[in-house]
Amino acid sequence: MADLTKNILFSGLNARQIDRIIKRCGGWEKQLKDGEAAVRQGDILHYIGIVLSGTAVGKKYTADGEEIIVSRMGENRIFADVLSGAAGFASPVSVFAVGQCRVLFLDYNRLLSCTLPQGPAVLKNMIQNISLKYFAQNRRMDILMMKSLREKITAYLLWQKQMSGTDEFDIDLDRRLLADFLAVERSALSRELSRMKKDGLIRYKKNHFKLFF
């Protein structure tokens, strides 16, 4: 189960303070079965979700029914915070459990109006998290504008290195999700990763990477 004291939303709060915030915001937990939806595309959201255990994925469906995985969320990841503040805009994505997944839901409006002493700190943390998501999306756009696949992979891995502060790190995305993130074919991604490994630029095993550039 996720340690909520390490969640960006509750940064600086202890477990007792977090529990009071959750109760004041009408928080409730739900155990989702594999494939069960926490959010459906088209929903109008008034709550935010935090993955307490397991994994969830965000999926988008095109007009012709094509499924695109846009995010993968492990423990302590927050979702629907941006949409809950979007004043009636429908969710463009669905969020589904992968295997057993437990989620904590918080009422967005009650969180905004929370009068507990820790309320302002939580709101500040939420705004910071939304800002980080904005800059992450902007970084993705920069990567997608690069011409070659190797440039895209290199830029993505350097970004992950910058966030982790080390040449050796794990990424949140498996090969399918990374291919979707970079907007490339999975087979092409695998081939280029193999070439980069052969050229001595990287070493990797599944989602664990070590850089040599």
**Of 172, 170, 7, which Cα lies nearest the Cα of 76?**
7
- 200 Cβ contact list (under 8 Å, min separation 6): 212
Does 17 have pLDDT greater than 90?
yes
Mean pLDDT of 176-194: 92
Amino acid 30: pLDDT: 96
Residue position matching structure tokens 């600086």: 12
188 or 183, which is more confident: 188
DSSP label of 148:
S
Q: What is the pTM of this model?
A: 0.78
**Predicted pLDDT at 78:** 94
Q: Which of 14-18, 81-85, 99-103 has the lowest mean pLDDT?
A: 81-85
Give Cα separations from 107 to 48, 112, 118, 132, 136 (angstroms). 7, 9, 16, 21, 25
Q: How far is residue 110's CA from residue 205's CA, in Å, rounded to a whole number?
A: 44
* Structural domains of the chain sorted by starting position, each given as residue range(s) with its CATH number in brackets: 4-133 (2.60.120.10), 146-211 (1.10.10.10)
What pLDDT shows up at residue 71?
Answer: 82
Q: Give the burial string for 85-111 (b: 16+ CB within 10 Å, else e).
A: beeeeebebbbbbeeebbbbbbbbeeb
- Tens digits of per-residue pLDDT, 27-75? 999 999 999 999 999 999 999 999 999 999 898 887 787 777 778 888 9
- pLDDT confidence of residue 76: 94
137-159 b/e with 16+ CB inside 10 Å = b? eeebeebeeeeebeebbbbbbeb
Q: Where are the beta strands (DSSP E) in 80-179?
A: 94-107, 168-170
* Average pLDDT taken over every residue of the chain: 91
Residue 112 has what pLDDT? 87
d(CA 73, CA 58): 8
Provide the pLDDT for residue 199: 97
